Amino acid sequence: MVARVTVLGSTGSIGQSTLDVLARHPDKYAVHALSAYSRIEVLVAQARATSASVVVVPTDAAAQEFRRLWGAGAPLPELRVGSQALADTAGDDQSQIVMAAIVGAAGLPGALAAARAGKRVLLANKEALVAAGSLFMAAVQSSGAELLPIDSEHNAIFQCLPHHGRAGVPTEPSPGVRRLILTASGGPFRERKWSDLAAVTPEQACAHPNWSMGRKISVDSATMLNKGLEVIEAHWLFAMPPERISVVIHPQSVVHSMVEYDDGSVIAQLGQPDMRTPIAYGLGFPDRIASGVGMLDLAAAGRLDFSEPDLAQFPCLRLSFEALRSGQVACIALNAANEIAVEAFLSNKLPYTHIP
Ligand code: NAD
Ligand code: MG
């Protein structure tokens, strides 16, 4: 049976990687709907390539642009407009799998609608969990949705935990698990002092050493607020208290995260830094399907380094732990303040060091 997939945020970095994996398995998956906020020309090309039945755009002007670029000939996909249409599409009964790959809290309504509809939700949009962890997890639990974490660290942890072939919602930490260890590359400024970063430009902040990603998450990775969001995300996904989640700097981004067990075992997931691996895992679970990612050559990698993060060097990471200990309201404030600060930094209205 072919599963029908909706990709929210299909024109972004995760969205494009998702379509790449789907295209490798026409026998298993077909695209139901795609959504984009801008770059309508990319959306048009994607809709053609995937024969999507539905596309969702934010405004009437964007819909008009879509029609103009589509031209005559092939039948136009059904065009839906606005944020309510986006959530309705995520929850409609025409798809079984939804990839939530919109950036920021704007991704919450779609992810939540998919969860409420009881679908398989591939969650890349970490801000949804940071801003609304309890609401979102309750929706997954009551509908019986399957929640597959796509963020590489959480996907790694999911793979290293006992899950018995079922992606349910834990209400307490898995038995025997002592600690979750999130790896972090440390971003482009790992070896520079915080006090020397005042003049950093958006281009420098977005030049991540290992991963190619959207601009917002690239800046978050540089400040390590991204790792802070991921600590909060791990808390919700795996029912882990903050003191049992730790972060280790690992500049090579080969070990994607680890689980420490009571008997002293540590189980890690390794691979190339390419998001198509976690995406393929989420699509195929509990089976393994081809992702297009090359195999890891450990001998060529040579060495793997690990070190303790310096919280003075990364104030955003410290703030995230404080927010998580403080509660949901602080996490909402953390995420909202960061979205606004990063947007201001990216439009050259705020110095990098003012983000925290
Ligand atoms: P991106 O900026 O490349 O793409 C974002 C997508 O969301 C685009 O399709 C855009 O049109 C759409 N979008 C933006 N604002 C919107 C709005 N207000 N309403 C509706 N749609 C909107 O981002 P990305 O790097 O693909 O990241 C997407 C999500 O996945 C983020 O939450 C990010 O933290 C998470 N994530 C990304 C990566 C990665 O490697 N890129 C890794 C882990 C997690
Ligand atoms: Mg990540």
The pLDDT tens digits of the residues spanning 115-149 come to: 999 999 999 999 999 999 999 999 999 999 999 99
User: Are the C-beta atoms of residues 50 and 75 closer than 8 Å to each other?
Assistant: no
Nearest ligand to the CA of 16 is 1
Residue-wise pLDDT for 270-317, tens only, equals 999 999 999 999 999 999 999 999 999 999 999 999 999 998 889 999
Q: What is the biggest distance separating any 2 CA atoms in the chain, rounded to whole angstroms?
A: 65
pLDDT computed for residue 169 by the predictor: 86
pLDDT computed for residue 170 by the predictor: 87
User: Are the C-beta atoms of residues 345 and 202 closer than 8 Å to each other?
Assistant: yes
The CA 177 to ligand 1 mean position distance, Å, reads 31
Burial of 118 (0-12, 13-18, 19+ CB in 10 A): middle
Give the residues across from 141 on adjacent strands.
none
| Cα-to-chain-centroid distance, residue 346 | 20
Token pair listed for 14 = 């995760």
The CA 43 to ligand 1 mean position distance, Å, reads 14
Closest atom, ligand 1, to C-alpha of 211: 40
192: left (phi over 0), alpha (psi -120 to 50) or beta: beta
Whole-structure pTM value: 0.97
Give, for ligand 1, the residue of 8, 10, 14 to mutate: max count of ligand atoms closer than 8 Å to Cβ: 14
Distance, in Å, from the CA atom of 8 to the CA atom of 70, rounded to the nearest integer, reads 20
> What separation in angstroms does the CA of 346 have from each of 278, 343, 349?
28, 5, 8
Compute the radius of gyration of the chain from its Cα atoms: 20
Lining ligand 1 with CB less than 6 A are: 9-15, 36-38, 101-103, 106, 124-127, 151, 211, 213-214, 216-217, 275
Closest atom, ligand 1, to C-alpha of 220: 34
Q: Which residues of the chain have pLDDT under 50?
A: none
Token pair listed for 39 = 């770059």
Looking at this protein, which amino acid is placed at residue 231? V
Residue bearing the CA closest to ligand 1, atom 43: 151
Closest atom, ligand 1, to C-alpha of 151: 43
Please provide the distance, in angstroms rounded to a whole number, between the alpha carbons at the two ends of the chain: 49
**SS3 track for 109-130:** HHHHHHHHCCCEEEECCHHHHH
Give, for ligand 1, the residue of 18, 99, 157, 213 to mutate: max count of ligand atoms closer than 8 Å to Cβ: 213
| Cα-to-chain-centroid distance, residue 351 | 26
> Of 183, 131, 175, which is closest to residue 153 (Cα–Cα)?
183
Give the residues across from 183 on adjacent strands.
248
Give, for ligand 1, the residue of 102, 237, 253, 279 to mutate: max count of ligand atoms closer than 8 Å to Cβ: 102
User: Are the C-beta atoms of residues 355 and 223 closer than 8 Å to each other?
Assistant: yes
Distance, in Å, from the CA atom of 353 to the CA atom of 7, rounded to the nearest integer, reads 35
Helix axes 13-23, 276-284, angle to 10 degrees: 60
The CA 150 to ligand 2 mean position distance, Å, reads 8
